[in-house]
Every structure is written in structure tokens, then in C-alpha cells.
């Protein structure tokens, strides 16, 4: 056998990019939290093909709509989103041969609209200064488009049960399997609540009879959001927290909730890149901040899994920009990286 002979006998590749959604890896943190007792693992959702955890719900919501006959050949996906869900839906719609139309408020950065267009989506811009009940608001335009376009389907990620179910069927089982059932805490930032509800429910159920007790579900919430008792006042961290209670957030699931400031979230987002080599978004730093607070009272036997929903690429002009951080009053002097070593 020549030296260049491959060892595999069958070629290894995915049939389509959609087959690469999910099965994201866990990585241990070696620097941040090294002075704390638990093992802290992060789940790299930014490695999904559309760049975020939202690929999972996009696939499930579209496949559910197909199964229920709500979306079929020639159909169009219509959703008011400019964020990660839009990218996931645009990618899945493109691969399955559907049109997609996204409605975004004018305040949203052009770059975000360009990502959606790159997948072949159409983007409609709504005026920002319009009351929500107006037919020209973000939601008003979405509803009118859904009625006007034949074969249109609006997934509605805030209330679609396929969203938490995708996490119940994939994210939760992956964490259980990859930790060999040793996970004790899962830490999740809540936006629509879909990740928390689905992943949390699965992990509670699967570990219910475990001798060491069931997995604890820890929610990270931006200071100001309703989940941690806020009024809905604004904050900078994106994709998490709410000013209303969406149907996909089940308040029975969390075992604890930590309120996290923008400053804390951005501090740990920057340290993830600088110390662990992990370029993740602001909601990832927020979840990590909550994990570190929870970890203070835990032991060497505890294994925490922190979900990192998206990549830091989308925040280079904000969280990773010294100018933006200083203009908004945030401290950019992250402490010196400590040597990667752990106790216990």
C-alpha cells in the first residue's frame, strides 16, 4: 500500500449543509473560572453552519410546517427578524427551495440585512418610529405580507412549539451524551426561552432519578429584562431578555435565575476570546457570567455546561471595539490572562 493511500474506505461528507446542524462540541475552560471548583464546559453553538444555535429551530419549524401541510412547493417563509433566526430560516428555506422574506426595523444594521440577502432572501425594511398596532409597523407589515403572499408561512419563533422541541430532541440529549450523564448544571441565556425550556426540560427528565439529583437549569438574564424581574428597560446585550413573556418561556423550568449587567456580559465575552481562544457573542459572555456566580457555591464534583449561542464575528464593531466600548462607558481593561491551571 502506498503511503498516500487513505485509511477510510468510504468517503465522508454531508449530503447538504443542513445535515451539519447540531452535534456541536463541548470545550473545557482552562483560564476563566480556574480559581473555582466545578468543571466548566462550553457548548459551541456558533459552530452551526448558519453561525448560531437558531439553525436548530429554523430546521425544526420548517420541517414541522411541511409535515402539517402549512408549507409546500412554491411556499414562502415570512418572519419579522433580522437576527440569528433569520439567518437559520434563510439557509433552510434556500436549501429546501422556498422563498424567504424578512421584515427588519430600519434601525437594524445594513450588514445584518446583507447576510439574509446573501442566502437569497428578500428583506423589507419597516420604519422604526411607528406604533406596534399600525399596519406599517414591523408586525403589521409581516401580517399583511403573510396574507398577501400565496403559500406564505410565518414560523413565529416566540410561540412555535417546534422551537423548544428542537432543543428537547437535540441540544438536551447532546449535553447528556457528551458529558456521559455527569452534567450537574446547564447555564442558558433566555431570549424567546426556547433553548431554556426545551434543553432544561429534557435534562430535568433524563436525570430525574439520578442518585446525585437532577440537573439544575440556570438562566442568565440581562439586567432590565422581565425574566429577572425587570421592567423591560433597554440593555445592549443582543438576542436575550424580553420586555414581554413569550409562550416558549416556561417559568416552571429554571432552578435559578441570575441577573447580569451589560458590563459583566461584555467583560466575559472579551475574556473568552482573549484567554480561551473562543470568539463568541455577548449573550455567551452573559451566560458565562451567570455560570461563574453559580459556581461559587459548587464543588469539584459539579460539571457545568454553558451554552454559547453565536459567534463574536457579528460584534466586532461593538463588544470587540475599544472605541464603541469606551463611548458606551464600558471598561475594556480585562484582567491579565491567568495561567491555565485548575484546582481539584
- Name the residue with the smallest CB distance to ligand PMP: 239
- Residues binding ligand PMP (CB under 6 A): 54, 83-84, 189-196, 238-240, 281, 283, 309-310
- Closer residue to ligand PMP, CB minimum distance, 75 or 222: 222
Q: How far is the CB of 95 from ligand PMP (least distance, A)?
A: 21
Q: How far is the CB of 188 from ligand PMP (least distance, A)?
A: 7
- Closer residue to ligand PMP, CB minimum distance, 179 or 192: 192
- What is the Cα–Cα distance from 200 to 213, expressed in whole angstroms? 14
- What is the Cα–Cα distance from 97 to 231, expressed in whole angstroms? 42
Selecting among 54, 60, 112, 216, the annotated active-site residue is: 54
Active site residue 28: no
Beta bridge partners of 52: 310
Q: How far is the CB of 192 from ligand PMP (least distance, A)?
A: 3
- What is the Cα–Cα distance from 29 to 33, expressed in whole angstroms? 8
Q: How far is the CB of 191 from ligand PMP (least distance, A)?
A: 3
- Closer residue to ligand PMP, CB minimum distance, 154 or 192: 192
Provide CB contacts within 8 A for 278, sequence distance 6+. 27, 42, 44, 272, 284, 308
Q: What is the set of active-site residues?
A: 54
Amino acid at each position: 500500500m502506498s503511503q498516500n493511500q487513505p485509511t477510510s474506505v468510504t468517503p465522508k461528507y454531508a449530503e447538504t449543509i443542513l445535515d451539519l446542524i447540531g452535534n456541536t462540541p463541548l470545550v473545557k475552560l482552562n483560564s476563566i473560572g480556574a480559581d473555582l471548583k466545578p468543571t466548566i464546559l462550553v457548548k459551541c453553538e456558533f459552530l452551526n453552519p448558519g453561525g448560531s444555535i437558531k439553525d436548530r429551530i429554523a430546521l425544526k419549524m420548517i420541517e414541522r410546517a411541511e409535515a402539517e401541510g402549512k408549507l409546500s412547493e412554491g411556499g414562502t417563509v415570512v418572519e419579522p427578524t433580522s437576527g440569528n433566526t433569520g439567518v437559520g430560516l434563510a439557509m433552510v428555506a434556500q436549501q429546501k427551495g422556498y422563498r424567504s422574506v424578512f421584515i427588519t426595523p430600519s434601525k437594524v444594521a445594513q450588514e445584518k440585512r446583507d447576510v439574509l440577502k446573501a442566502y437569497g432572501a428578500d428583506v423589507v425594511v419597516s420604519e422604526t418610529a411607528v406604533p406596534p398596532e399600525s399596519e406599517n409597523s414591523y408586525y403589521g407589515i409581516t401580517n399583511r405580507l403573510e396574507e398577501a403572499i400565496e403559500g406564505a408561512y410565518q414560523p413565529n419563533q416566540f410561540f412555535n412549539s417546534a422551537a423548544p422541541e428542537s432543543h428537547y430532541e437535540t441540544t438536551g440529549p447532546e449535553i447528556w451524551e457528551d458529558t456521559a450523564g455527569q452534567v450537574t448544571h446547564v447555564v442558558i441565556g433566555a431570549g424567546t426561552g426556547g433553548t431554556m425550556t426545551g434543553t432544561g426540560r429534557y435534562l430535568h427528565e433524563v436525570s430525574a432519578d439520578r442518585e446525585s439529583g437532577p440537573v439544575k437549569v440556570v438562566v442568565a438574564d440581562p439586567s432590565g429584562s422581565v425574566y429577572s424581574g425587570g421592567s423591560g428597560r433597554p440593555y445592549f446585550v443582543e438576542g436575550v431578555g424580553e420586555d414581554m413573556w413569550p409562550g416558549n418561556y416556561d417559568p416552571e423550568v429554571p432552578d435559578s435565575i441570575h441577573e447580569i449587567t451589560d458590563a459583566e456580559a461584555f467583560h466575559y465575552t472579551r475574556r473568552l476570546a482573549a484567554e480561551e481562544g473562543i470568539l463568541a457573542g455577548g449573550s455567551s459572555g452573559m451566560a458565562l457570567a451567570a455560570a461563574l456566580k453559580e459556581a461559587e457555591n459548587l464543588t469539584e464534583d459539579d460539571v457545568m455546561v454553558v451554552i454559547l449561542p453565536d459567534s463574536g464575528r457579528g460584534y466586532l464593531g461593538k463588544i470587540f471595539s475599544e472605541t464603541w466600548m469606551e463611548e458606551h462607558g464600558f471598561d475594556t481593561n480585562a484582567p491579565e490572562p491567568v495561567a491555565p491551571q485548575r484546582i481539584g
